[in-house]
Amino acid sequence: MAATDEAGLLARAGRGDRAAFREFHDQLSTPLHSLALRMAGNASDAEDLLQETFVKIWRHAPNYDPRKSKPFTWAVTIMRRTCIDHQRHRRSRPVTEPWPEGPAGAMEPAVEETVRGQAERAEAVQNVRAALGHFAEPRRQALELALFSGLTHIEISQRLGQPAGTVKSWIRRGLLNLRETLTESGP
């Protein structure tokens, strides 16, 4: 889907159009989930982060300005910030998840669905990794640090020894190229 179509969907969602928001969600949920999975490290947190991200997108859709960024870039920025906040919160308070109960050797339907979803998302993550493999080294590294390590532009610029403006440009162009590559390769 073209960015202008996404911008139109987002504008309609900003006016309360739930059908437009559903369509926007359907278009972006796979790549955003792949990035959330990579940043969170587990499917459960990734699902929660994706849901939280789309709640924020719904709430802030009226404030979206197409002159400042493309809808995909805007959504990735919201998702990235949500993941960073989650990581910071998790570091301050570790949480353990109990093993789901059920008959020995049998999976509960929710667990079975999670396993299926994990397999589908693993394929999506593999597609994102393959797409990132085509980027030039410093740009790829900057994009990976931003998306998967939760580092800020300043932290990345310090780590790579590059000006912050250069890093921001690399990441922005990288997100646009990543989106284009993932869109061309299909869902």
For residue 138, the model assigns a pLDDT of: 84
Tell me if 33 sits within 8 A of 45, measured CB to CB: no
pLDDT higher than threshold 80 for residue 147: no
Read off the pLDDT band of 93 (50, 70, 90). low
Total length of the chain:
187
Distance CA 172, CA 23 (A): 24
Per-residue pLDDT tens digits for 27-37: 998 889 888 88
Tens of pLDDT, residues 60-73: 999 999 898 899 99
pLDDT exceeds cutoff 60 at 79: yes
CA 172 – CA 165 distance, rounded (Å): 11
Structure tokens at 101: 């109960």
Asked if residues 142 and 175 have their Cβ atoms less than 8 Å apart, the reply is no
Contact present, 13 and 21 (Cβ < 8 Å) = yes
Q: What is the pLDDT of residue 119?
A: 66
Which pLDDT score, from 0 to 100, does residue 105 have?
46
What's the mean pLDDT in 28-49? 87
DSSP state for residue 27 in the 8-state scheme: H
Angle between helices 109-132 and 137-148 (to 10 degrees): 150
pLDDT tens digits along 102-133: 444 444 455 455 666 666 666 776 777 777 78
Structure tokens at 128: 């994102």
Judge whether residue 11 has pLDDT over 70.
Answer: yes
d(CA 106, CA 186): 34
